[in-house]
């Protein structure tokens, strides 16, 4: 679906950064907003909001495959990641559990990495990073060999990566983490709405979600935590969320999140639609742009995400040229764009700085069409040719080939 921004028709291909608000959500917003009472109020103004909060929680739980009692509403994915790590560690300490070893994958979002690092400062934790190779997949033996039974409290491995889309073997990781008596958290922010999954099947203890990656509003998210896992609050307040997250609930955003969760049944079909377009995009790009490579192209990936390395261009310059042409894409995580450093995720996978700097992330959405992809490929080919021409890339490439043949 195209949008008009600054008087120009735009095609949005950055759905990993955030998703547009679904039309059905927009249509319901004013009626939800009219129920402005506080869900904690006992009087009539609180009753409707309280019911809607319960309905939203039920819908989220049904969509994720857990009990409503296991859903804590948060402000989004970053807060859910922080609550998972800090809340679990604090609760463990309060119960006399002295385990201080934490394992996180090298692919995690900054909100998870920074939350883990804060545990070093606040709980004298030892945080160890599980490395990855060019496949972008965490290897079971790398988790197994780092687990320290009796010392490892928690392991965190994301379900799907925001930059490459690589999907991790979370269910298999859960088996070995549980065998060592540790907890498993997964950041499932990117997975929701892009691939079908079920928390019971994944068998994780904690999982993070953000509503704005799922066609709802910014300002709501959730942390799933297994009933048996003790969790301390980050925000103390009036007992909301069963004392796991204080503060009057953002009912408008939570209502939108709950509504989108009632549509979880659409995900399988939407995923197939995006997969067909993404695969067509990648094969056209391979055909029409020389030397391009698809990062982790052989790994299980979200059907909507394509991370390309296009030698001979600078990702930031490419992004700006495409923006001028009317296409919104990304060069790495949107949260870190503006920073001149190449993506830590791509570097952790063993890409060189040059490769990481020549990378482009394309994130398709539910409403992306084949015509939009065709227009985008044409623009990308044009822009890449122009930028490569300016940098004399063809000359360098033929020189490299000449050296190879020598």
Ligand X SMILES: Cc1ncc(COP(=O)(O)O)c(C=O)c1O
Q: Is 249 in the site for ligand X (CB under 6 A)?
A: no
Sequence-distant (≥ 6) Cβ neighbours of residue 339 within 8 angstroms = none
Q: Is 189 in the site for ligand X (CB under 6 A)?
A: yes
Give the binding range for ligand X (CB under 6 A) out of 76-84, 130-138, 261-269, 290-298.
76-84
Q: Which of 14, 22, 70, 187 binds ligand X (CB under 6 A)?
A: 187
**221 - beta bridge partners?**
74, 210
Q: Is 190 in the site for ligand X (CB under 6 A)?
A: yes
User: To the nearest whole angstrom, how small is the minimum distance from the Cβ of residue 400 to ligand X?
Assistant: 35
Q: Which of 39, 49, 76, 303 binds ligand X (CB under 6 A)?
A: 76
DSSP 301-344: B-TTEEEEE-TTS-HHHHHHHHHHHTEE-BSS-GGGTT--SPPH
Q: Distances in Å between the alpha carbon of 9 and those of 16, 317, 325, 384?
A: 20, 21, 9, 21
Query: Shortest CA distance to 76 belongs to which of 173, 192, 184, 171?
Result: 192
Q: Is 205 in the site for ligand X (CB under 6 A)?
A: no
Closest-CB residue for ligand X?
Answer: 77
Which DSSP symbol is given to 405? H
When the beta carbons of 84 and 377 are compared against ligand X, the nearer one is: 84
Report whether 257 contacts 211 (CB < 8 A): yes
When the beta carbons of 49 and 77 are compared against ligand X, the nearer one is: 77
Rounded-to-integer distance, Cα 302 and Cα 16, Å = 10
Per-residue x/- mask for ligand X, residues 120 to 149, rule CB under 6 A? ------------------------------
Size of the site for ligand X (CB under 6 A): 15
When the beta carbons of 161 and 368 are compared against ligand X, the nearer one is: 161
Rounded-to-integer distance, Cα 323 and Cα 370, Å = 19
User: To the nearest whole angstrom, how small is the minimum distance from the Cβ of residue 190 to ligand X?
Assistant: 5
Catalytic-residue membership of 335: yes
Give the binding range for ligand X (CB under 6 A) out of 77-85, 135-143, 317-325, 394-402.
77-85
**Would you say the C-alpha torsion 274, 276, 281, 283 has a positive or negative sign?**
positive
Exposure string of 71-86, with b = 16+ CB inside 10 Å and e = fewer, is: bbbbbbbbbbbbbbbb
**Using CB under 6 A as the criterion, which residues of the chain lie in contact with ligand X when the complex forms?**
76-78, 81, 109, 111, 158, 162, 187, 189-190, 210, 212, 221, 335
Which of the residues are catalytic? Answer: 335
């Amino acid at each position: 679906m195209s949008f008009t921004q600054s008087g120009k028709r735009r095609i949005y291909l950055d759905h990993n950064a955030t998703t547009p608000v679904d039309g059905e959500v927009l249509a319901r917003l004013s009626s939800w907003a009219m129920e402005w009472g506080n869900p904690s109020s006992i009087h009539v103004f609180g009753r409707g909001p309280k019911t809607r909060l319960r309905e939203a929680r039920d819908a989220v739980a049904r969509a994720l495959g857990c009990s409503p009692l296991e859903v804590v509403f948060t402000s989004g994915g970053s807060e859910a990641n922080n609550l998972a790590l800090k809340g679990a560690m604090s609760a463990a300490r309060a119960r006399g559990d002295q385990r201080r070893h934490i394992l996180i994958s090298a692919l995690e979002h900054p909100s998870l990495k920074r939350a883990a690092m804060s545990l070093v400062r606040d709980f004298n934790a030892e945080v160890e990073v599980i490395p990855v190779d060019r496949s972008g997949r965490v290897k079971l033996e790398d988790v197994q060999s780092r687990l320290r039974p009796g010392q490892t409290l928690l392991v965190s491995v994301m379900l799907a990566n925001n930059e490459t889309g690589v999907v991790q073997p979370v269910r298999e990781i859960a088996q070995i983490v549980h065998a060592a008596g540790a907890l498993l958290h997964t950041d499932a922010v990117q997975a929701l709405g892009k691939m079908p999954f079920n928390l019971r099947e994944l068998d994780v203890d904690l999982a993070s979600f953000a509503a704005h990656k799922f066609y709802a509003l910014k300002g709501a998210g959730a942390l799933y935590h297994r009933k048996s896992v003790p969790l301390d609050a980050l925000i103390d307040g009036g007992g909301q969320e069963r004392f796991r997250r204080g503060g009057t609930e953002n009912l408008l955003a939570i209502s939108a999140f709950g509504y989108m969760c009632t549509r979880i049944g659409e995900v399988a079909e939407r995923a197939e639609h995006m997969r067909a377009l993404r695969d067509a995009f990648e094969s056209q790009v391979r055909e029409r742009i020389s030397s391009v490579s698809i990062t982790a192209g052989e790994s299980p990936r979200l059907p909507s995400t394509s991370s390309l390395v296009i030698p001979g261009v600078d990702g930031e310059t490419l992004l700006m040229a495409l923006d001028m042409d009317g296409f919104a894409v990304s060069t790495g995580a949107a949260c870190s764009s503006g920073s001149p450093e190449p993506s830590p995720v791509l570097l952790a996978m063993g890409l060189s700085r040059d490769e990481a700097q020549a990378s482009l992330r394309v994130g398709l959405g539910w409403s992306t069409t084949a015509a939009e992809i065709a227009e985008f490929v044409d623009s990308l080919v044009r822009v890449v040719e122009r930028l490569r021409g300016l940098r004399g890339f063809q000359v360098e490439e033929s020189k490299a080939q000449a050296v190879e043949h020598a």
